[in-house]
Amino acid sequence: MGFGKVKAALLSLNLIVGTPASNPLSCTKDIFASLTLDAIHVASLNVTAASGLPISGYLSTDDDTGRRRQMPLTVDICLVTLTYTHPGTGDNVHTYIGLPLDAENWNSRFLMDGGGGWVAGGQEQVLTPVGLGYVSSSTDGGHNASVTTAEWGLKAPGKTNWPALEDFASRALHEAALLGKMAIKLYYKSEPRYSYWNGCSTGGRQGHMMAQNYPELFDGIVGAAPAINWDKFITAEFWGAFMANILVRTDVQPPSCVFSAFRDAAIKACDLLDGVKDNIIALPGQCHFRASSIIGETVDCIEPNGKITITKKMSDLVQAMWDGPRSAEGKFEWYGFHQDTNLSAILSPSCTSVDSCTMVPFSIADDWVKVFLERNANFDTETLTLQDYTRLFHQSVDQYASIIGTENPDLTKLKRVGTKMITWHGMQDQLIMTNGTVDYYNRVMSGDPDVADYYRFFLAPGVQHCHSGAGFDPSATTFDVLRSWVENGTVPETLKATAAAVGSSNTSSTRTGNLCLYPKVFTYTGDDPNEASSFSCV
Ligand SMILES: *[C@@H]1O[C@H](CO)[C@@H](O)[C@H](O)[C@H]1NC(C)=O
Ligand SMILES: *[C@@H]1O[C@H](CO)[C@@H](O)[C@H](O)[C@H]1NC(C)=O
Ligand SMILES: *[C@@H]1O[C@H](CO)[C@@H](O)[C@H](O)[C@H]1NC(C)=O
Ligand SMILES: *[C@@H]1O[C@H](CO)[C@@H](O)[C@H](O)[C@H]1NC(C)=O
Ligand SMILES: *[C@@H]1O[C@H](CO)[C@@H](O)[C@H](O)[C@H]1NC(C)=O
Ligand SMILES: *[C@@H]1O[C@H](CO)[C@@H](O)[C@H](O)[C@H]1NC(C)=O
Ligand SMILES: [Ca+2]
């Protein structure tokens, strides 16, 4: 999220306010005066007709490294901004609704684009969909994305800001959908033909929240690499930082090149188990490589420069991150990361020399432990023992699962109203453990063996969080596939994805693969690994 971009857009918005297009519709405050809901008190309503508003964004599930959709650079928009509170809670929500200014530019559809990390959404999230012809709405989820979690997450030290968390988790999202649809009626005097949610990560969790609680508001949902099981996976995301404190803080802390050495050794040992040498461990269940097997080896590092020897403590740390958190009694708490995953992403070693590094825990996990579990923004996480970690893990589940867990496997309502949902998850996801989504889908499937009629899940070997990596990335096409399923009844048996070509000196050449409907497994069965027909779903 570039907040500089939002500011620039707002500035230019001011310049063009008051240049109404030749427009039979009326983008005025009067038209939207009745825009409200029973549970809210509207503090301000702003309506702006803007022509040529610049857009810099792209749909959140698209790869931002070169496969952006063909996007117009500016948009003619009727932008509605609503500020409101839920009386008695002291909260403050900003919701943004964007409508194509001219009716002929509206494709008769409604599309909400999801947020990321602690960002629920904002004005930027509506501009791109409107540029593509949709009406869109989005919300800041009850907190300003540029203030720290410590500022909005606590009412006072020791006191969780429950209303703000509830807004972020679900309440404001639900309301943004309702308000967006109301605005459509007020402006165009008609209903959308189809309504969609499209998101990844936090946006994927938001999509699942809609699927679990408000499926009647959507015809189709993409909820990729979803931050579901939030209460468990966010605490699990802190496990690496916790183990680094226990194992290596007072010892030699590994620079990134050491994490890469473990990953490279695992790939060397297990890459070919799936039949293709492509830096992807597509069959992790068959990979029995242990981190301890490279203890004593020397790693040549470039940045920082120097040689470093792998210690047993470093190997214990990496093995712990692969295995995932275990309780003080040694019991399974949550999943780890696959062995071909970039472990530096959640520890970000910061080094002055090869043997002088400190770990910088991934901020969302660090915030969770300090602000939401210890309820003290200055809490020193270096003091935590395994007993403490175990207690915090269970506290997180007890206190937060029902509000933000987003892990209810009962999708009966979604099934009944006929909403379709697609989820995919990269198997090299370095932030959200892939197997948490597998766990959720298995739970849905055990309640309804026919789940694939309405909810389809695809694993993407070699893909990192939301996009990128060596592997088969479906992010550029998934939303179109969902639309075809909803609007044309084209059931996605597989999900088309692209990866870097194997054995090619041309680094821009790609190969295609058709990802498999879970629980089927993407399996190499042919000759040329660059041909989609060399893989099948087994
Ligand atoms: C709404 O408009 C008023 C008056 O122009 C302005 O003071 C206020 O900051 C605006 N609020 C938002 C949320 O844009
Ligand atoms: C959010 O905070 C930033 C920085 O403090 C401020 O500039 C901006 O106006 C705020 N946005 C809203 C919608 O209040
Ligand atoms: C994820 O689940 C698969 C299938 O059960 C298993 O093979 C794999 O080792 C698991 N990976 C992690 C990191 O838990
Ligand atoms: C691993 O992640 C870190 C942090 O996001 C990044 O700087 C680094 O380039 C990544 N390494 C690889 C090999 O992708
Ligand atoms: C549905 O099918 C028609 C006819 O083949 C095609 O033109 C249209 O693009 C399809 N719509 C979607 C959303 O795939
Ligand atoms: C590299 O591959 C891309 C995509 O297949 C192709 O468009 C391009 O012409 C190739 N370049 C060379 C130098 O072969
Ligand atoms: Ca492989």
CA–CA separation, 359 vs 357, rounded Å?
A: 7
Give the residue with greater pLDDT, 537 vs 504. Answer: 537
Residue 226 token pair: 């979803």
Distance 142 CA to ligand 1 centre (A): 17
Query: Which ligand lies nearest the alpha carbon of 510?
Result: 6
Distance 21 CA to ligand 3 centre (A): 56
Residues taking part in catalysis: 201, 429, 465
Please report the pLDDT score of residue 25 as a whole number: 87
Please report the pLDDT score of residue 246 as a whole number: 95
Say which range, 59-73, 162-176, 249-263, 286-300, has the weakest mean pLDDT: 59-73
Query: Which ligand lies nearest the alpha carbon of 439?
Result: 3
Task: With a cut of 70, say whether residue 70 has pLDDT above it.
Answer: no
Q: How confident is the model at residue 143 (pLDDT cuts 50, 70, 90)?
A: very high
For the CA of 507, the nearest atom of ligand 6: 1
CA–CA separation, 312 vs 176, rounded Å?
A: 51
Rg of the chain, C-alpha, whole Å? 24
Give the residue with greater pLDDT, 420 vs 66. Answer: 420
Please report the pLDDT score of residue 13 as a whole number: 41
Task: With a cut of 60, say whether residue 90 has pLDDT above it.
Answer: yes
Give the residue with greater pLDDT, 367 vs 74. Answer: 367
Please report the pLDDT score of residue 208 as a whole number: 98
pLDDT in tens, 28-38: 999 999 999 99
Domain layout of the chain by residue ranges:
1-192, 194-229+406-538, 233-402
In a 10 Å sphere around its CB, with 0-12 CB exposed, 13-18 middle and 19+ buried, how is residue 181 labelled?
middle
For the CA of 490, the nearest atom of ligand 5: 14
- Coil vs helix vs strand at 389: helix
Residue 513 token pair: 């693969």
Q: Ligand 4 pocket, 342 CB below 6 A?
A: yes
pLDDT in tens, 396-406: 999 999 999 99
Model pTM above 0.85:
yes
Q: Ligand 4 pocket, 530 CB below 6 A?
A: no
Please report the pLDDT score of residue 59 as a whole number: 54
Q: Which residue has the least CA distance to atom 2 on ligand 3?
A: 435
Determine the residue type at 525: T
CATH class of 194-229+406-538: alpha beta
Q: Which residue has the least CA distance to atom 1 on ligand 2?
A: 144
Q: Which of 454, 442, 464, 461 is nearest to 519 (CA)?
A: 442
Q: Which of 439, 463, 226 is nearest to 342 (CA)?
A: 463
Phi, psi of 443 (to 5 degrees): -70, -40
Task: With a cut of 80, say whether residue 72 has pLDDT above it.
Answer: no
Give the CA distances from residue 335 to residues 107, 260, 287, in Å, rounded to whole numbers and listed in that order: 42, 20, 16
Please report the pLDDT score of residue 73 as a whole number: 81
Q: Which of 371, 393, 384 is nearest to 157 (CA)?
A: 371
How crowded is the C-beta side of 63, counted as CA atoms within 13 Å? 20
CA–CA separation, 306 vs 510, rounded Å?
A: 35
In a 10 Å sphere around its CB, with 0-12 CB exposed, 13-18 middle and 19+ buried, how is residue 425 labelled?
buried
Please report the pLDDT score of residue 57 as a whole number: 63
Q: How confident is the model at residue 58 (pLDDT cuts 50, 70, 90)?
A: low
Pocket of ligand 2 (CB under 6 A): 94, 144, 146
Residue 450: partners with Cβ closer than 8 Å, 6 or more residues away? none
- Coil vs helix vs strand at 298: strand
Q: Which of 58, 363, 421, 60 is nearest to 217 (CA)?
A: 421
- pLDDT over 70 for what percent of the chain? 93
Please report the pLDDT score of residue 325 as a whole number: 98
Q: How confident is the model at residue 507 (pLDDT cuts 50, 70, 90)?
A: confident
Q: How confident is the model at residue 100 (pLDDT cuts 50, 70, 90)?
A: very high
Residue 433 token pair: 């453990």
| Ligand 7 ion: nearby residues, β-carbon < 5 Å | 271, 274, 276, 278, 280
Please report the pLDDT score of residue 504 as a whole number: 79
Q: Ligand 3 pocket, 285 CB below 6 A?
A: yes
Please report the pLDDT score of residue 55 as a whole number: 84
Cβ-based neighbour number of residue 217 at 10 Å: 19
CB 106 within 8 A of CB 100: yes
Pocket of ligand 5 (CB under 6 A): 483-484, 487-488
pLDDT in tens, 455-479: 999 999 999 999 999 999 999 899 9
Q: Mean per-residue pLDDT for 142-163? A: 96
List of long-range contacts for 324-333, beta carbons under 8 Å, 24+ apart: 324/236, 324/239, 324/433, 325/235, 325/236, 325/239, 325/389, 325/393, 327/386, 327/390, 327/393, 328/386, 328/387, 328/389, 328/390, 329/390, 333/232, 333/236, 333/390, 333/393
Best mutation site among 67, 506, 510, 512 for ligand 6 pocket (most ligand atoms within 8 Å of CB): 506
CB 424 within 8 A of CB 225: yes
Task: With a cut of 70, say whether residue 12 has pLDDT above it.
Answer: no
Q: Mean per-residue pLDDT for 106-133? A: 94
Determine the residue type at 12: S
CA–CA separation, 524 vs 538, rounded Å?
A: 10
Task: With a cut of 70, say whether residue 11 has pLDDT above it.
Answer: no
- pLDDT over 90 for what percent of the chain? 88
Query: Which residue in the block uniquely carries the two structure tokens 């948009």?
Result: 75
Q: How confident is the model at residue 217 (pLDDT cuts 50, 70, 90)?
A: very high
Determine the residue type at 434: T
Q: Ligand 6 pocket, 508 CB below 6 A?
A: yes
